[in-house]
């Protein structure tokens, strides 16, 4: 089928919950995607920060192919070898103690909320505990994840959501302190806010949250679904700050396209929260997903992916700062590593995205006025130069 035929078929049969861009992809390789007519696109979106290794990485592809022909699913009623490998490697990389595999980032958030509520319930057997989340945040679209997403636009049509959620201002420690009370059981933040406009946490803010949680026996939940897995030049963004969460949520790049997420717990939380019967999943942690996670972590180590991001990010930031200084519709840059945002002024950000698409560049938005750049972590100077060349032309 050509692009138009694919578009028409999708529009006829798929529920219209996405306003898709007018392109249909059929193949990917490295930093590039190809549409149904064979046109090449430089990918600085990476499936929304998913394809950390680029498209069709040969080692990853072969491992997944082999696992499909070996064992895909058993349910969580049984052990399997890929679960052993993936859980050990992921827990080590995240510096956490226990893992629960899910099918998505949203499901990881759901599990984190339940673990926090159970932790507090075990202390006093009360059901009035509260979670503090941040304004301008995004954690997912299920009812629980939506409840801790600080954006009225996403929440309004689906209220009432789950109760016991208070909101504070990101990077404002006093705002958080004002919401803390004797019913607070957890504080949840994105270490780097993504959908809200690419805002990294200030070091003093994150360290202050950790101190509050330690003093009051509150759980700190860090959402690293988008900013984790090497994207900021550290395996997980919180490692730059020297702050360890009680619960961490991950997804996206841990599977590089295979649907998988996870929430990880430290020993204290794991031993005082969820037990058999409290939480479950039919597909989560299946052999195929775990093979993907295990293989991705192996490739990260062998190919020094995190080190590459740390070495290359200063060049990306330098070129983007130059771009912001030269181009009238860019008023600034913010971000960390390979998670960058360009603030667009004087024209709609969607206009920029569509113009870039016409010129063979994939970029996406974050919030209403930010151009989001979350390329595969294999991006290097030639791709960065090409990115800036196209954006200048746009």
What is the DSSP secondary-structure string of 185-211? EEEEEESEE-TTT-EEPPHHHHHHHHH
Whole-structure pTM over 0.95, yes or no? yes
- Condensed to tens digits (0 to 9), the pLDDT of residues 186-229 reads 999 999 999 999 999 999 999 999 999 999 999 999 999 999 99
Task: Work out the average pLDDT over 141-155.
Answer: 96
Nearest to 244 by CA among 272, 218, 269, 207: 207
Element (H, E) at 248: strand 247-250
Per-residue pLDDT band at 321 (split at 50, 70, 90): very high
Residue-averaged pLDDT of the chain: 98
Residue 78: per-residue pLDDT: 98
Percent over 90 (pLDDT), the chain: 100
Given the candidates 3.40.640.10, 3.30.70.250, 3.40.190.10, 3.30.360.10, the CATH classification of the domain at 71-303 is 3.40.640.10
Residue 58: per-residue pLDDT: 98
Give the residue ranges of DSSP H helices in the chain.
3-13, 46-49, 58-68, 81-94, 105-124, 143-147, 152-155, 173-179, 203-216, 238-241, 267-270, 287-303, 305-326, 349-358, 381-393
Per-residue pLDDT band at 144 (split at 50, 70, 90): very high
Per-residue pLDDT band at 107 (split at 50, 70, 90): very high
CA 356 centroid distance within chain:
24
Let me know: does 232 contact 79? Beta carbons within 8 Å: no
């089928």: which residue's tokens?
A: 1
Q: What is the DSSP letter of 298?
A: H
Per-residue pLDDT band at 79 (split at 50, 70, 90): very high
**CA 284 vs CA 75, 166, 368: distances in Å:** 8, 30, 34
Percent over 70 (pLDDT), the chain: 100
Residue 292: per-residue pLDDT: 98
- Domain covering 3-57+305-393, topology: 3.90.1150
Residue 42: per-residue pLDDT: 98
Residue 382: per-residue pLDDT: 98
**What is the C-alpha separation between 285 and 393, in angstroms, rounded?**
45
Residue 339: per-residue pLDDT: 98
Task: Work out the average pLDDT over 250-263.
Answer: 98
Residue 10: per-residue pLDDT: 98
**What is the C-alpha separation between 314 and 88, in angstroms, rounded?**
32
Task: Work out the average pLDDT over 243-262.
Answer: 98
Residue 348: per-residue pLDDT: 96
Task: Work out the average pLDDT over 5-27.
Answer: 97
Residue 56: per-residue pLDDT: 98
Residue 43: per-residue pLDDT: 98
Q: Where are the domains of the chain?
A: 3-57+305-393, 71-303
Residue 195: per-residue pLDDT: 94
């Amino acid at each position: 089928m050509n692009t138009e035929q694919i578009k028409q078929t999708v529009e006829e049969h798929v529920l219209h919950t996405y306003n898709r861009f007018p392109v249909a992809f059929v193949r990917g390789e490295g930093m590039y995607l190809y549409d149904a007519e064979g046109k090449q696109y430089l990918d600085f979106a990476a499936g929304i920060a998913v394809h950390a290794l680029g498209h069709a990485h040969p080692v990853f592809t072969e491992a997944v192919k082999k696992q499909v022909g070996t064992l895909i699913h058993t349910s969580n009623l049984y052990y399997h070898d890929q679960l052993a490998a993936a859980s050990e490697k992921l827990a080590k990389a995240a510096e956490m103690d226990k893992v629960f595999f899910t099918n998505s980032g949203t499901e990881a958030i759901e599990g984190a909320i339940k673990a926090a509520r159970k932790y507090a319930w075990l202390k006093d057997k009360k059901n009035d505990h509260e979670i503090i989340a941040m304004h301008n945040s995004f954690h997912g679209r299920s009812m629980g994840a939506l409840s801790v997403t600080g954006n009225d636009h996403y929440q309004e049509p689906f209220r009432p959501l789950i109760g016991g959620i208070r909101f504070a201002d990101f990077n404002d420690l006093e705002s958080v302190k004002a919401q803390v009370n004797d019913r607070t059981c957890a504080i949840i933040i994105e270490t780097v806010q993504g959908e809200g406009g690419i805002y990294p946490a200030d070091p003093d803010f994150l360290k202050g949250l950790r101190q509050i949680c330690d003093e009051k026996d509150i759980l700190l939940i860090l959402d690293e679904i988008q900013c984790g897995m090497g994207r900021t030049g550290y395996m997980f963004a919180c490692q730059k700050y020297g702050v360890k969460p009680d619960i961490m949520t991950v997804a996206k790049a841990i599977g590089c396209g295979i649907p998988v997420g996870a929430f990880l717990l430290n020993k204290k939380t794991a031993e005082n929260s969820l037990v058999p019967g409290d939480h479950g999943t039919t597909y989560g942690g299946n052999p195929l997903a775990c093979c993907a996670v295990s293989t991705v972590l192996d490739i990260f180590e062998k190919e020094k992916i995190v080190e590459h991001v740390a070495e290359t990010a200063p060049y990306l930031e330098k070129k983007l700062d130059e771009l912001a200084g030269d181009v009238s519709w860019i008023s600034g840059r913010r971000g960390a590593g390979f998670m960058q945002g360009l603030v667009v002024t004087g024209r709609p950000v969607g206009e920029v995205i569509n113009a870039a698409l016409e010129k063979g560049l994939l970029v996406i938005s974050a919030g209403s006025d930010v151009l989001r750049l979350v390329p595969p972590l294999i991006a290097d100077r030639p791709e960065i130069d090409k990115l800036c060349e196209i954006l200048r032309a746009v």
